[in-house]
Each structure stands twice: as C-alpha cells, then as structure tokens.
Chains A and B, each alone.
Chain A
Amino acid sequence: MLKNKRVGIILACVLMLSGCGNASRVGSKLTNENGVDKVLSSQVAAENDKKADNTGTGEETTVNENRASSVDAEKKMEKTDTNTNVEAAADVDIDLTVMSSDMVYATVYQLMFESEDYVGKTIKIKGTYYATWYERTQQYYHCVIIKDATACCSQGIEFIWGDGSHVYPDEYPADETEVEVVGEFEIYTEDGYEYCRLKNASLKTV
C-alpha cells in the first residue's frame, strides 16, 4: 500500500514537471538558439535552397552574374595589390602564414586579449574572408577568420583594406574566400567600446 502511494506521488511529480510546467518561463530562458534548433533551421534552409534552385531559372542567372562580378573583382584586386604586397612583406613583424594552425589560433587569441603588446606591429594573416553589416554604425566590417587544429574554435580579426575607400561588395571578394591580409595592428574606440583591427591593410586572394 505504502509502495503504491510512493509510486503515485512520483508519477504525479513527473507529470507536473514534464507536462504542466510554466511554458512561458522556460521559453524565456531558451531564447538562445541551441544546437538542435541550429541543425533544424539549417536543414530547413538547405531544403528551401534546393527548391529555389529547381524552380527559378531567373534567380540562377542573378546568382551567376553576382559570382561573375565577384570573380572580376578578385582579379582586379590581385592586379592592384601586387605592388603593395611586396612592400608590406618586407616589414612584417608577425607572419601568421608561416605558422602552424595551433600557433595561428594562439597568436590571434593573444592579439585580442593582450592587444596593447601588439599595437603598431605589422601582421600578415591568411584565412577565410567574411563581411558583416552592423546596424548601429550602418556600415560593413571586413574580417579574416582562422580556425584551430581541431577546427572547433575559430577567431577573426577585422581589417581596413587600404585607406578604406574600396567599395563593398564590388571590389571585395565573396564571403568564405581564402585571403591573405597584411596590415598594421591598432586599437580603436567605437560606440564606447575598444576594438582592434589591421589598418592600411593589403588584401590578396589565395
């Protein structure tokens, strides 16, 4: 009898915890997209992309045109940057392109967390190019991303190509292009926060 009572209490607790919890409170804590959500949303996005590829021929031409223009931009960029790269290579203080991936990751980490030690130094880095739009400042930021040896951790560093007059997206490579950037490390303040980047950088696709 006592055993049955115990089982009844346990069952009631299980039901209360699993079915009758305050869903809105749980939801508020689950605002961060977790791994399962990410996988689901990426699978849905992939399926949608497939459908779009099969149905819209007009869209395909637009994509191809964009790709063609980005290839042209890359070619232009390589031509214009040949001279600046030769000049920059001579004065490189930290050349991340000759380092192993562990060392590249650790050095970029140090650049981010011990920034003062590296101000004014010329740094050469090779990685994946990404551009990102920031709503508050209404501008694009350009960065080069590197991964560690296990490829689970990645870090990036922002750069300003030349004097910053290059036009995005016409003159820049497409996202995820492998690039080599050489520039002078600096710390700058924006929106009340300190950031670091490579200024007067040269950019080359590799």
Chain B
Amino acid sequence: MTMSEYIDKLRYYLQFPFVRYALIVGILIALCSSLLGVTLVLKRYSFIGDGLSHVAFGAIAVATVMDLADTTWFTMPVTVIAAILLLRTGQNAKIKGDAAIAMLSVGSLAVGYMLMNVFSTSSNISGDVCSTLFGSTSILTLNQEEVWLCVILSLVVIAVFIIFYNKIFAVTFDENFSKATGIRAERYNLLIAVMIAVIIVLGMNLVGSLLISALIIFPALSAMRVIQNFKGVVVCSVIISVCCALMGMLVSILFSTPVGSTIVVADMVVFLIFTLIGAIKK
C-alpha cells in the first residue's frame, strides 16, 4: 500500500463520526494526563495513578454487576473518594504511602475481577475484562453523551490547572516552603488528587486501566530528559502526549493494532529518543 492509499483510507475513516469523536476525546485525555503527569512525577506520586486506575476497574465491575446504564457516574465518585483517602490519610494512617496504594490496587483488581466473573450477566466476561483493562476499542465506541462528558471534564481540568498553576507549581516543588508562605498545601493536594481521579476515569476509555499510568508518566519523563524548567517540561510533555496519542490512534485504526498499547509504545519510543537527545546534550 502506498502513502496516498493510506491517506485515502484515513479520509474514508474520518467520514465516520465515531472516529472523529475518538480523536477529539483521545487528544483531550492525553493533554490532561500530561499536564498532571509532571506534578505527579515530581511529587513522587507516579504509582498513585496505577492504584487509582485499579480502584476504577473495581468500581466499573460493581457498576456492571448493578447493571448501571452509564458506569462513569458511579466510577468517577468512587475513584475521587479513593484518591482523597489515599492522599489525606496517607500521612497519619498505620499503613502508609506505597503499601496503602499497593493494597488498594491489587485488592480492587481482585474484587473487580471476581465480581465480574461471579455476578456478571454478560456473555463475554473475558471481553469485558479485556476492554476495561486494556482499553481495547472503547475509544472507538463512545456515544455522543460520553464524548460531551469527556470534553467538559477535560476542559474543567485544563482550566483548573491554568487558574491554579502558580499554587500547583509551589506545592509540587516544595510543600513545606509553600505552607510557610501561607499556601494551604493540603487543599491543593486534594485538588490534584481529584483531578488525577477524573483523568484516570476518562483515560480508561483510551488506554484501559492497566496502561493509564503510562499516559501520565511517559510524556513527563521524556520532557524531563531535555528540558530543565517546570513550564518548559509541562508544555513539552503536553506536545509529546498529544502527538503520541494522535499517532497511536491513527496507526491502530490503519493497521489494526490495539489502541491503548499502540499509544503507550509510541510514548516509549519518544522516551527513548528523548533519553538519547538528553545524553548527547550532556
């Protein structure tokens, strides 16, 4: 197949509204996840995304068993509550930090899978589990309501990040110093936790719950290889994330590869390239 034939094929695919929806939602999710990715990596919260995505998986399983028409309305609050609990009680709880995340992560995954197996009325449990864990083609099967919900929540996350940029910056780099200057660090940590939860629930449509961490972490890490200031890293991370998501989605619909893993592979390739560039620059 020649290049022009691929372009014709792509033009043909773009005539379908669900392909256009997928591209819009995919780009917005990639943008939001990379915005917060930098903060998470710098605050050493990289693994929180993974833990929360597993909580979201458990919540989806419960929503499926309860036969809810739209699982997002159940998954979103549960994930937000889990995020708040992890961040707020993390300091004082008996089970701390990474142990709490690991416990919540594997516990939710196990309970979710068990519920789906035992109580689900679906005829294709492995298909349901596969599409929840790896995204499968979920991004290509969104309806208009889901698209609008994704667009609105993504815009809210972007707006909140821009409005509170200075505070988030201060809390990210030195929480104690920001507290000393009068910033209520706990509030902003809470805000960050809520935004992470929202992004994770949205991102599950794109790459699934097992791969969502890659969408948050890789662009930030790639940007950090070559750029040394916060704003630069955020902007570069956004560009990398959006480009990789777009490339991944286009490659997957043209060459029949799974959407989520293709995006993550694209992110990994960019990370390797940026690591090389960073090494050469030194």
Contact = CB atoms under 8 A, between A and B. Distances in A.
Interface in A105-152: 105-107, 109-110, 113-114, 148-150, 152
B178 interface: no
B210 to A, nearest CB: 13
B86 to A, nearest CB: 27
Dominant secondary structure of chain B at its interface with chain A: helix
Contact of B256 (A29, A34, A101, A153): A101
Interface in A27-62: 29-30, 32, 34-35
A102 B130 contact: no
A152 B13 contact: no
A149 B257 contact: yes
A114 B143 contact: yes
Given A30-B118, A32-B119, A109 B253 contact: no
A103 B252 CA distance: 9
A154 interface: yes
B256 A102 contact: yes
A103 B131 contact: no
Interface of A: 29-30, 32, 34-35, 98-103, 105-107, 109-110, 113-114, 148-150, 152-154
Given A105-B141, A149-B136, A149-B259, 4 more contacts: A100-B255, A148-B136, A152-B131, A153-B127
Interface of B: 9, 13, 16, 18-19, 22, 117-121, 124-127, 130-131, 134, 136-137, 140-141, 143, 252-259
13 contacts: A29-B118, A32-B118, A98-B9, A100-B255, A102-B140, A103-B13, A105-B141, A106-B19, A149-B137, A149-B252, A150-B134, A152-B136, A153-B130
